[in-house]
Structure 1
Amino acid sequence: MAKQNIHPEWHANAKVYCDGKHIMTIGSTKPELHVDIWSGNHPFFTGSQRILDTEGRVERFMRKYKLNSQENNDE
């Protein structure tokens, strides 16, 4: 049994905004939520994420462990 007058007010129809646009409606303890990133504009979910190879780290790893894409394809 829940104690009286100790729980925050629940807003069943809290609006979520990103860049001033209404994105979705959820349940929350706040009536409005303002977010910077959500699944609709995050690079991972939109498919625009790129792996940056700074200073040839991938090539160094491949050389260190003698992993060559041509050798692995021939086996």
Structure 2
Amino acid sequence: MKPGIHPDYRPVVFQDQSTGKQFLTRSTADSERTVQWADGNSYPLIVVDVTSDSHPFWTGNQRVMDTAGRVEQFYQRYGRKR
């Protein structure tokens, strides 16, 4: 790697906007906001819309679309082309 051209890779806290859950990881993302972590250190805080804590796939709230029903609705509305 060339020195001086890569962003700073450091510990950052990400927070789920809807659930408030926070997790500490490493990232190049930057933020003016900081948060005090359990280890007593202050880290940049990045608030994100969706994490595994609130994503429907991971929480079990995922909806399954009835594709067969949608196709039949389409055929009823517009007819079948033969």
Structure 2, unaligned runs of 5 or more: 30-43, 73-82
Structure 1, unaligned runs of 5 or more: 61-75
Q: Give the count of matched residue pairs.
A: 57
2:27 — aligned with what? Answer: 28
Q: 4+ residue stretches of structure 1 with deviation over 4 A? A: none
Q: Could you tell me which amino acid in structure 2 is paired with residue 35 of structure 1? A: V
Which deviations, in whole Å up to 9, do the C-alpha atoms of 1:7-44 show, x marking residues without a partner? 11111x20001127352111101243221011111111
TM-score (norm: length of structure 2): 0.54
Q: Could you tell me which amino acid in structure 2 is paired with residue 36 of structure 1? A: D
Displacement of 1:53 in angstroms is 2.5
Distance 1:50 1:40 in 2: 17
Find out whether 1:5 has 2:29 as its counterpart: no
Change (3 A) 1:28 1:4: same
Higher RCO structure, 1 or 2 (CA under 8 Å, sep 6+): 2
**Identical positions, percent:** 39
Structure having the higher Rg? 1
TM-score (norm: length of structure 1): 0.58
Q: CA RMSD in A?
A: 2.5
2:15 — aligned with what? Answer: 17
